Amino acid sequence: MLFPTTDFAIFFGVVFVCNWLLAPFALRWKLFAILASYVFYAWYDWRFIFLLAVSTIVSAVAGRLIHASRSPRVRKRVLVLAVAADLGLLGFFKYADFFAASVDNALHHLGVGGTPIGLLDVTVPVAISFFTFMAMSYVIDIYRHDLEPAPFVDVAVYLSFFPHLLSGPIVRGSELLPQIARSRQRDPRAIDLPTATFLIFGGLFKKVVISSYVSTAIVQPVFDAPSVHSAPEILLAAYGYAVQIYCDFSGYTDIAIGCALLLGFQFPQNFDVPYTARSMQEFWRRWHMTLSFWLRDYLYIPLGGSRGSRRMLYRNLMVTMVLGGLWHGAAWTFVIWGAIHGVAQCTGHWHRQRRIARGLTPQSERPIAVWLQRLATFHVVCIGWIFFDSATVNDAFTMISRLVTAWSGPDPLVRLPVVAAIVGSLALQFVPNGWSARAREVFGRMSAVAQGAAVGATLLVITTLGPPGVAPFIYYKF
């Protein structure tokens, strides 16, 4: 079930009413929330609700056993079994065919034919990466004594809650479980309606209008056939994909956060104008922040983080970013994308340490230097996006090679509306945060009739400018 559809509007309307009618009755509300979330997930494919249920049972039972045991050895064994079960499900459904194909290709290049390895043609369950990471963090936090085990029904709500289920944000147990436990204390009169409205309709505009237009006008035609396009078209498509994926993914999470607010829950922020970043390290503090912090807390720091030698630091950065790339998809394009970000982070760390050793600040603060840092970071990100969205590694290298060699051909896809949409979307990243707060304040002071008229006008603009139908969100496949 996609957010920008009539089906979801009807579904959410029913859930919204029932949510607040059942709010005073904690158990009834929790059971309803689970039912509604499983219906939402089953809308995609009913068979995968059993996978979500298994992940929930494993996490809830493992959390209880870890908390109840006083034996460090038993606690660690239960943790390892729980994490292995989660990763086993994720690995089978998401990576079985990838590794089978990779081994088969390697053997073929070595001249070994007729191998028994074949594709299983496994259908990847939507959202498996997201609820698997949430399930793992729940068990690990209990093992670390950072979280108390929750009742089973609360864990089921936590992992299945439909606003975050399909594409995040990745919400920690410490962030959502206390809100679920206090669900009876929610007050519909305390809903931050202006913020929720701005998030939902802003997210719809980013997804339905900007992301869809840029995708059909420049990104999809170029990435589908890079060998027939000119360098200006490829360059604009790379910039366009940066806009498309940001508007698509941040649009989804804005809608998710807004819907959760209307139901009385707060989710963590997931994006913070990432294309204003001056380094790759800062980019990951602004892009998909819930994943970035998850990788930091559950992978990078356990590997050793920045402790130890410089070589160990670089190893930890590379392992984290490459595995982060592989998390996004079972393809070598994602591995290379993660490696690009890892190398860029290692290079940035080396440069900062060199400046500190010379008695300078980690980064130059001169205005021209700040903008050069932003330009360099943005273009490294865009090179990574070429691999991220390319169907094959060869397609990605074709695009990069034609950026150098194909400047003499025609470029019919480079049109003023496309350029304006891309430049305008990037420019909005640099608008001060205060303007949106003032706009929400003005909206909040308006009468109910005026608010309704504003919402209606916004919907009219979205439906008029948006394309027929709505493409799935990019991150559904991850």
Burial per residue of 3-15, b for 16 or more beta-carbon CB atoms within 10 angstroms, e otherwise:
bbeeebeebbeeb
- What amino acid positions are annotated as catalytic residues? 328
pLDDT at 114 over 60: no
Mean pLDDT of 16-33: 96
Tell which wins on pLDDT, 2 or 380. 380
The answer to whether residue 373 scores a pLDDT higher than 60 is yes
Q: Which ranges constitute the DSSP H helices of 361-447? A: 367-389, 393-405, 416-427, 434-445
pLDDT at 119 over 60: no
Q: Looking at the predicted structure, is the pLDDT value of residue 132 above 70? A: yes
pLDDT digits (tens, 9 = 90+) for 435-462: 878 888 888 888 888 888 988 998 899 8
Residue 221, pLDDT > 90, answer: yes
CA distance 456 to 460: 6
- In this structure, which amino acid lies at residue 153? V
Q: Can you tell me the mean pLDDT for 17-46?
A: 94
Please determine, for residue 430, whether its predicted confidence score (pLDDT) is greater than 60.
yes
- Give the closest residue to 143 by CA, choosing from 58, 57, 63, 77: 63
Most confident of 18-27, 42-51, 358-367: 18-27
User: What is the rounded CA–CA span in Å between residue 179 and residue 159?
Assistant: 13
Integer distance in angstroms from the first to the last C-alpha of the chain? Answer: 16
| pLDDT confidence of residue 136 | 96
Q: Residue 33 — very low, low, confident or very high, per pLDDT cuts 50/70/90?
A: very high
Give the pLDDT confidence score for residue 159 in this predicted structure: 96
Outline where DSSP puts E strands in 190-328. none
pLDDT at 56 over 90: yes
**pLDDT confidence tier of residue 116, bands split at 50, 70 and 90:** low
Judged by DSSP in three states, 423 sits in helix
Asked if residue 115 has pLDDT above 70, the reply is no
Percent of the chain with pLDDT over 90: 72
Which one has a higher pLDDT value, 463 or 120? 463
Non-local CB neighbours of 156 within 8 Å, separated by 6+ positions: 30, 34, 56, 60
What is the mean predicted confidence (pLDDT) over 315-322? 96
> How far is residue 383 from each of residues 17, 114, 172, 266, 427, measured CA to CA in Å?
46, 37, 31, 34, 20
C-beta neighbour count of 471 within 10 angstroms:
17
Query: Tens digit of pLDDT for each residue in 161-173?
Result: 999 988 889 999 9
Amino acid 166: pLDDT: 83
DSSP 151: P
Give the pLDDT band (50/70/90) at residue 107.
low
Is 31 a residue whose pLDDT tops 60?
Answer: yes
> Rounded to two decimals, what is the model's pTM?
0.91
pLDDT band at 64 (very low <50, low <70, confident <90, very high): very high
Tokens of 333: 């394009």
The pLDDT, as a whole number, for residue 127 is 80
Q: Are 379 and 396 within 8 A, CB to CB?
A: no
Question: Rounded CA gap, 390 and 225, in Å?
Answer: 10
Q: Please report the pLDDT score of residue 106 as a whole number.
A: 67
The pLDDT-based confidence of 399 (bands split at 50, 70, 90) is very high
* Residue 255 confidence (pLDDT): 94
